[in-house]
Structure 1
Amino acid sequence: MQFLDLRCGLLAAAAAVVLGLTGPAPADAAMELTAFRQAVAEAAAQDDAIAGFYRDRDYAPFWTSAEAAERRTALLTALSHAADHGLPAARYDARALIDLFRGARTLRDIGRAEVEATRMFLSYAHDVSSGVLDPRRVVGDIKRDVARPDPAELLAGIAAAPNPGGYLRGLAPRSPEYARLMRAKLRLETLVAEGGWGAPVPRGSLRPGQSGAAVVALRNRMIAMGYLARSATATYDAALQKAVQAFQLDHGLQADGVAGAGTVDEINVSAEDRLKSVLVAMERERWLGNDRGDRHVLVNITDFHARIIEQGETVFQTRSVVGKNRADQRTPEFSDVMEHMVINPTWNVPRSIAVNEYLPKMQANPNAHGYLQLVDGSGRVVSRGAIDFARYNARNFPFDLKQPPSTRNALGLVKFMFPNPYNIYLHDTPSKSLFDREVRTFSHGCIRLGDPFDFAYALLATQTDDPKGFFAAKLATGRETRVDLVRPLPVHIIYRTAVTDPKGHMQYRRDVYGRDAAIFDALQAAGVALAPVRG
């Protein structure tokens, strides 16, 4: 791209007049300077941050002076690459800004271009650093509070930056994941422009030993995706089975090497749809921000795993079960801080579950779920024999339901607490068989852990030399025991259908709640495009 050179032509002369470097007689120059300042003040008046910025600098030029050439070029460079970040490039169109500069004929024109450059800078800086969308407005179950940059701080930052280009590049998320996603986006754009991965595989189930046209289509798809070396075989041989297994591992599928209906559906997802997942993942990465904690818990809802991350490395992971795909049971997305664990927990049944699930059963049979205690408003356990459940409904049921600590407790033998308004936490469960399922959406919203004791040991290892012994001693009492974490750690519950490994290799997951589809639609409505590769 040919960037504007303000050292030549009319605009350079006009900028010099603004600076009082050359031009008309002093009286005329003063009039010109007044015209520039008035134009800036008028153009900035609709935005308090911009108006305050120029008022504080006595309406001196920030982008359009000769001395601002490096800053101006850095801005135009950043704007011209906005689409690389999956941003709505038309919102801050570098070419339009250049045309505005070049079309300037008066100092008032330059003043308006000056403010437009500031407006584009702030819009770009906002979007590239913290996202295009407000996630809560797109999906109600995203409870994430996005740290938005302060416009005054952004303007002060670039004003003080000795290297404006470096400052602008540093606005994007600094996580290695974001950089890897950005590279994956560019690769997928090239792939889409070249036609993707070729013909889809016919629907159905294919197994090792089979042969025929469907196996050839599977073979070709695996070759195009990079899972299989070039081959002319028409048989589902050991090499193809290994390729299918590798694909299944990368897509969270049961890695049996059989191309069943579910695996074939994932194989047939187009490169364009995978690009959409990457664009959404980049937006989500912007929402998450940079301050995640050197040591933190990461739960990816779509991946059905919980992990402990230290200095960017996974030091522990376990399978998880998340909320059912129902309006009131989907696991929300948010971040908080884990403060303690409870060993031998009591389950205080949420009101919605008590009245919607258990009350009807107790109305049919007063002794149903006899392991649950009825507790009145004074905290006393009430005998079921004295209760006429038919008198009550969801509005007037006066009791709480509790399940005392036991191996049958719905929370299992330990829960991990990061107090939040959504009553979500991590916990054990007696329903161990669910962890063998491929899609694990079975809870009421909380996150069940496949290896909760090992998770507890990993947390306790930072505060005791014998985490297993410490935990076992508390467990053996059978009593509910709170154990505070000496080093509380952040918990991030995220939802990513596209993730990378440290080498940049892509993994994809199903959009189990349909959230990423909604986010991509909103991004597209905001102007984000599946752009062709730029030559």
Structure 2
Amino acid sequence: MLSCLRLSLRSSLLAAFCSLCLGAGLSLGMVSPAAAQVTAFKQAVAESASVDEAVAAFYRDRNYAPIWTGADESSRARRAALLDALSGVSVHGLPPARYGVDQLKAKMAAVRTTRDLGEVEVALSRAFVTYAKDVQTGLLTPSKVDADIKREVPLHNREAYLNEFALSEAPQSYLRALPPVTAEYRGLMKEKLRLEYVMAHGGWGPQVPGKKIEPGDRGPAVIALRNRLVTMGYLDRSATGVYDAQLQQAVQRFQLAHGLEGDGVAGTSTLGEINAPVAERLESIIVAMERERWLNHERGDRHILVNQTDFSAKIIDHGRVTFETRSVIGKNAHDRRSPEFSDEMEHMVINPSWYVPRSIIVNEYLPKLRNNPGAVGHLEITDSRGRQVSRANTDFSQFSAKSFPYAMRQPPGARNALGRVKFMFPNKYNIYLHDTPQKNLFSREVRAYSHGCIRLADPFDFAYALLAPQEADPKAFFQSVLATGKETKVMLKTPVPVHLIYRTAFTNSQGRAEFRRDVYGRDAEIWDALRAAGVTLGAVQG
């Protein structure tokens, strides 16, 4: 009923607006519009558009002919499509006030003169290009939110939006195609609506008290745990007051969906995640939708996806995960956090040397060498010509971080910091994927320990998967190169796109939302920026 009323009101508004357009003598279908009115309209458009170069250029190129304010069917269709889209921006987690749909409607209803009509024409264009950019490639500029988000967003030219839309014969279809068309974006939108409904109906109920609940326990805390898991959808409706096998399995399902160890014991970490409010999860979903818009471009039929918060690395073939392994990411320190960006993997190096980054040399190893020239003995010290430097004949105390003239290298071997293979997508951040001798780290729940690069739990299997398209027996080929002990570069005949992402909310292969902890606090920063831009948490009523 409400939607019918909205449709009736919008139709009435458009009909009245069209009558005003005709009364002003500016119907695009008219053969001989009054010259004075046309001139006044063009002047109004030129003046209003002057504050926005892209919009101004669009109108100059078409001699200020309107695309919105004519009385022809194409203009009516564009207006209707745009007003529909702007009225529904909250579905995408965008702020309605930014596009001023109510103000646009009021401005349209208040048209009395040709000049008014020209101002409305430009106002509609400006609202359109702002919305188009926001819904297609995001509201925010990633690097302005956090310097470690290096993602280059594929921005579309604002004038091109207008040209494309003006030529489109199906304006509603054009607008519907602007947001990401990925299954992930659709899943996030669905979860957003679900959580808004849950929030409007009181949330997931009382929080679960205590610090630890385990199988066999009974009492009020177990009942609270049971009720919350039922409401969340992890447990079928039950009247049990005991932490039984069904409740343990429900806890395990929840744990696995939140990146926790699936032991079925509701300890401190698990209870902390279970007690997270609906609003917090909704914020994560809205942030994930914004992040998905930042990545709204072709990702490659085959690509590598590293989700830092999930501590995972996957190979995706035609939308399906064909390989997955655990990963270790950068430590949560200002100079070690793994950045976010996309690039192309070109080759792997089997039996790699580790060429120690300058920052590590001067900040970590030089202080040790000043105290003891024999420190970090597993590393070779070399001069500018690659010749090995004698530690016994060098006074390291004379060097500062700026004046230290040497490089450091760890030769190939089982103890090499990069393990036995590294995977290269050359980039200015010196980030890559690699093996590691520290296998114990992969058993930990939170795996943020590296200097920024991504360590893989199963690097050999990862290599076999990458080599499979170009080698008849990828395992035998890899092992034969490995057995030589020599540093060897192996090119990938077809480079593979790599996307280092950071998602605290995402959907799994069944389309169900999963959540992870905000390891670096980046999503909190993004939410703060979205909120400052006017985004709020909505809730479906009824």
State the Cα deviation string for residues 350-396 of structure 1 (Å, max 9, x = none).
11111111122222222122110000112101121111122222121
Deviation at 1:15, TM superposition (A): 3.8
> Contact between 1:15 and 1:64, CA under 8 Å: does it hold in 2?
no
Tell me which residue corresponds to 1:496: 503
2:344 pairs with 337, 341, 346, which one? 337
CA distance in 2, matches of 1:361, 1:80: 63
Residue 143 of structure 2 aligns with which residue? Answer: 136
Q: Is the 8 A contact 1:175 1:290 kept in 2?
A: no
Q: CA deviation at 1:96?
A: 1.9
Aligned-partner Cα distance in 2 for 1:10–1:310: 51
Matched, 1:447 2:454: yes
Q: TM-score, normalised by structure 2?
A: 0.96
Helix, strand or coil at the partner of 2:304: strand
- Cα shift at 1:301: 0.2
**Which range moved further: 1-10 or 504-513?**
1-10
The match for 2:435 among 418, 428, 437 is 428
User: Counterpart of 2:10 in 1: which secondary structure?
Assistant: coil
The residue type paired with residue 53 of structure 1 is F
3-state secondary structure, aligned to 2:363: helix
- Partners of 2:21 and 2:69 within 8 A in 1: no
Question: Per-residue deviation at 1:401?
Answer: 0.8
In the TM superposition, what is the alpha-carbon distance from 1:11 to its structure 2 partner?
A: 4.7
Out of 70, 82, 86, which is 1:65 matched to? 70
Alpha-carbon distance, 1:22 to partner: 7.0
Letter in 2 for 1:524: R
Alignment match, 1:521: 528
More displaced stretch, 189-198 vs 324-333: 189-198
Asked whether 1:231 is paired with 2:245, we answer no
Partner of 2:3: none
User: Aligned partner of 2:35: which letter?
Assistant: A
Q: Distance in 1 between matches of 2:30 and 2:386?
A: 85
SS in 2 for 1:62: coil
CA distance in 1, matches of 2:414, 2:15: 80
Whole-Å separation in 1 of the counterparts to 2:130 and 2:62: 21
One of 405, 409, 412 as aligned partner of 1:405: 412
Query: Which of 464, 467, 471 in structure 2 is aligned with 1:464?
Result: 471
Say if 1:8 and 1:487 are closer, same or farther in 2 by CA, change over 3 A. closer
1:258 aligns with 2:293: no
Match of 2:227 among 220, 225, 230: 220
- CA displacement, residues 253-302 of structure 1 (integer Å, 9 cap, x when unaligned): 00000001001001111111000000000000000112111110000000
* C-alpha contact (below 8 Å) 1:6/1:69 kept by paired residues: no
More deviation in 14-23 or 131-140?
14-23
Q: Secondary structure at the match of 2:519?
A: coil
- Measure the CA separation in 1 of the matches of 2:200 and 2:186: 22
C-alpha separation in 2, matches of 1:227 and 1:8: 51
The letter of the residue matching 2:57 is G
Give the residue type in structure 1 aligned to 2:27: L
- For 1:79, the aligned partner's letter is L
- The amino acid that maps onto 1:19 is S
Using the size of structure 1 for normalisation, the TM-score is: 0.97
2:382 aligns with one of 375, 395, 410? 375
Provide the aligned C-alpha RMSD in A.
Answer: 1.5
Relative distance call for 1:10 and 1:227 in structure 2 (3 A) is: closer
For 2:187, the equivalent position in structure 1 comes to 180
After superposition, where does 1:16-27 map in structure 2 within 5 Å? 17-19=25-27
Against the structure 1 CA distance between its residues 310 and 20, is the aligned structure 2 distance closer, same or farther, given a 3 Å change threshold?
Answer: closer
In structure 2, the partner of 1:52 is: 57
Quick check: 1:201–1:218 contact (8 Å CA) kept in 2?
Answer: yes
Q: Could you tell me which runs of 5 or more consecutive residues in structure 2 were left unpaired when the two chains were aligned.
A: 1-5
SS state of the match for residue 118, structure 2?
helix
Counterpart position of 1:347: 354
The equivalent of 1:414 in structure 2 is 421
* Count of residues in Structure 1 that have an aligned counterpart in Structure 2: 532
2:312 maps to which residue?
Answer: 305
Are 1:322 and 1:443, in contact at CA under 8 Å, matched by a contact in 2? yes
1:118 aligns with 2:125: yes
Contact 1:174 1:290 in 2 (8 A): no
Residues 321-343 of structure 1, C-alpha deviations (whole Å, 9 max, x = no match): 00000000000000000000000
- 1:475 and 2:464 are equivalent in the alignment: no
Contact residue 298 and residue 309 of structure 1 kept, 8 A: yes
What is the match of residue 154 of structure 1?
Answer: 161
Could you tell me how far 1:4 is from its partner in structure 2? Answer: 4.6
Report the Cα distance in structure 1 between the residues aligned to 2:11 and 2:110, rounded to whole angstroms. 11
Match for residue 45 of structure 2?
40
Matched to 2:40, the amino acid is A
- Identical aligned pairs, as a percentage? 57
CA deviation string 1:291-326 (max 9, x = no partner): 111110000000000000011110000000000000
| Range that drifts further, 367-376 or 112-121 | 367-376
State the AA in 2 paired with 1:46: V
Of residues 321-330 and 85-94 in structure 1, the stretch that sits farther from structure 2 once superposed is: 85-94
Deviations 1:168-212 (A, max 9, x none): 000001111011101111111111111111111114011100111
